[in-house]
Amino acid sequence: MKRYLCVLLAALVLCAPSFAEKRFEKDLGDGVKYIQVLREDPNRIINVLIVDLTSENVQMKSVLSQDRIRTDKVYGRETVPMLVDKYGALAGVNACFFDMSWWSDPLGAQIVDGELVSQPSPFMPIAFTDHNTAFFDKPEFKGTLVNQTTGKTLDFSYVDGDIGYSGQENIIGVFNYRMG
């Protein structure tokens, strides 16, 4: 029986695919660790940030390339390393997909310094509160527009997540300086 188990174990080891892996780890600061895993068969590079959201030294910040939604040839785009340098961060993550017709408009809700800069989408994003609490949820947007001159208000909501505006009626577009 013992010989049978040894032969079976040897067969399993020899027949198993080879998953060569190299792993590099680096502490970036109190509460932040960077891990890079290099795998073969298939070739993959996996970058991982492990962040202790309870650490007093950790602060999450949502930013936009060039601090605006609409970038163009004049404003250009910024890479994640450029944004990390610009904000003096230890690390950065490209956290969403973009509407390439608007160059850097995140597909989904984004709030920067308490200001809604991109509308919600039907997808469930990860979000971080001001107190570094992470959660997944489906956003629902409700708000009030206030005319600064007349004081008149208009309540509105954005619930369905449909971002295909063409051909739709009764659409209110809200623009600010971040739109370019």
Tell me the pLDDT tens digit for each residue of 50-81: 999 898 888 888 888 777 776 666 666 788 89
| Same structural domain, 139 and 159 | yes
Counting other chains too, the contacts that 148-151 makes at CB distance below 8 Å and 24 or more residues apart are: none
Question: How confident is the model at residue 149, as a pLDDT?
Answer: 92
Percentage of residues in the chain with pLDDT exceeding 90? 14
| Same structural domain, 152 and 70 | yes
- Burial class (CB within 10 angstroms; exposed 0-12, middle 13-18, buried 19+) of 167: exposed
| Same structural domain, 46 and 82 | no
Domain of residue 111, residue span: 59-179
| Same structural domain, 174 and 131 | yes
Region at 88 (left for phi over 0; alpha for psi -120 to 50; beta for the rest): left
pLDDT, one tens digit per residue, over 171-180 is 666 666 666 5
Average pLDDT value for the chain: 74
Average confidence (pLDDT) over 21-49? 90
Question: How confident is the model at residue 7, as a pLDDT?
Answer: 46
Question: How confident is the model at residue 165, as a pLDDT?
Answer: 46
Contact status, residue 66 vs residue 75, Cβ threshold 8 Å: yes
Q: Output 27 or 142, whichever has higher pLDDT.
A: 27
Rounded Cα gap, residues 103 and 18, in angstroms: 41
- Residue 113, in any domain of the structure: yes
| Same structural domain, 175 and 125 | yes
| Same structural domain, 43 and 76 | no
pLDDT, one tens digit per residue, over 90-99 is 888 887 666 6
> Domain tally for the chain?
2
Contacts with 101 (C-beta within 8 Å, 6 or more apart), sequence order: none
Read off the tokens for 86.
């610009």
pLDDT, one tens digit per residue, over 157-170 is 654 444 444 445 56
- Residue 16, in any domain of the structure: no
| Same structural domain, 43 and 130 | no
Average confidence (pLDDT) over 106-120? 76
